[in-house]
Chains A and B, each alone.
Chain A
Amino acid sequence: MRGTKFVRTRAIVAIVTAFLFVAAACGGDEESVSEAQRSTGPIKIWYSNNPEEIEWGKQVVNAWNKEHPDEEVTGQEIPAGETSEEVIAAAITAGNTPCLVFNTAPAAVPQFDRAGGLVNLAEFEDGVSYIEERSGDRAAQYGYPEGEYNQMPWKANPVMIFYNKDLFKKAGLDPENPPLATYDEFLAASQALVDKGGVQAAIWPAPSSEFFQSWFDFYPMFIAQTGSGQLVEDGQAQFNNEDGVAVAEFWRQMYEEGLAQQETYNGDAFADQKSAMATVGPWAIAVYGEDIDWGVSPVPTQDGIAPEETYTFSDEKSIGMYTSCENQGTAWEFLKYATSEENDGLFLEISGQMPMRTDIIGTYSEYFEKNPEYEVFAEQAERTVEVPMVSGSIEMWQEFRNAYSASVIFREEDIQPAFDSAAETINGLVEEGS
């Protein structure tokens, strides 16, 4: 009887082992990189799911397909998910990414890269020259020091302070020249808006804990305050310096005095006029423009600096080429086609977002003459800073967000020790990944 049980157990173990081997063998074979880069044929691409980008994507794909019947491009929206980054990460693991994703967040690039999901565009013969000629000096923020470009900088939404002129008037503030340049001015204006403007908060950045939320409260102001500094530079966290703490103290005061809210607003607080300001990019003009009499101002700094010297966060999205792509030759040609001067112009016209190319105002002067309200964003787009390209980028941002939530939004800790502790952890993460 014991013998029978033993045989049965062995049989079960053998079946399970065989199953595990089969599962492991499903990893697939690896195609030669250079061969894939030369290969042409049909490809798939994903673009963002907002109506403007869908419209642009369809037009560009249709135009390409008419000219290249043998290299047909199939475009679709990024499948629904909590964030695009999660969807792309899942697709990398499953090996079913499309050739190109026109919505790759720079902060996720190191993670995708570590997973072996991204093609180094610098390996294409004209890869580096094309990227750097199109984006100018800003391109350097999107590559690795070794000269790799695992993303193509595509479009930016430089973050500025968007405000509701009617609510400013109601609060007794000058809507044409709003006093928002310094922290003191911003706090005073915010107090007036809450006291007299009838809003629940002067500004309502999301107070939730997702790693990316700091890009729309702390980080633009940190960049402005430091005159184009990044969260991490040369492997060392920078946010626990005097400038970083000044920005954090400003926001802490906003929360402490009820000028910003600790609660998540279920909806769009700016659209619902529950807040009078928002940190947004040019996409906001199309979204709010018809219903709200709006104005725009650079992000404030402690003592105020000239708008033409103010830097901000780019809120940039790149184009990523993914390693599961079999026809990378076609993908590279389509990428260049979609980011040509003509198609960048079409993108600007349809979406109002700023292509990551030099001299946007000069190149598309006709557009800005017709749409002067976008010019301020175009000027700001020349002075943008990206998230640092470091390994463990998302983990780093989450670590920072946790410290920011604890010390600024919920005031459970003091800012300096919380930031010092987060900086130490982040320095360790960066060192580990380098």
Chain B
Amino acid sequence: MYEIRIHGRGGQGAVLAGGILATALVQEGKFVVAVPSFGFERRGAPVASFLRFDEREIRQMTNIYQPDCVLCIDPTVARAVNVFEGVKDGAVLVQTTAKPLGDIELPPQIATVGLCDAVSIALDIFKRSITNTIMLGAFARATGLVSLESLQAAIQKSEFRDAGLKQNMAALERGYEATEVHQIVRKAAA
């Protein structure tokens, strides 16, 4: 079972991103459960959404506390919540940021990092910082766990129509293209 925790802010579409990713993974024959966190979500407030997938039926309908991957679709949410809480050893971080790798503080558990300046891409495509579909492209690039084609098909199936659909398809592809993937090599502890 592979567990992903998506961090964002209210209004950026973290829950929708979970739904699109779930549809794409089901298309690839996986079993998926996606649970949004809940409470009084407000635009701009930190939100999270949880997704687990497996080759077998998944029974747990719970939140995720030890993720294999943290997908951060907002550049500053990590200042508001500890996005690394409980991450497994060897975990993947997929982060929207304009910073280079060296400027990002990582806990020792993170082994792979995918960086994508999704905000700049979003401002270019949508004229506002809606980063969810861009970061799904980044996730596909950084992890290889879902194909770009399946994500494209899932976006086609979603509620996006006409210009919105075209923009989001472009956003997905640009996110995929623009993502830099780094493997973190750590020296053995002394």
Is B a genuine binding partner of A? no
The chain A residues found within 8 Å of chain B, CB to CB, are none
The chain B residues found within 8 Å of chain A, CB to CB, are none
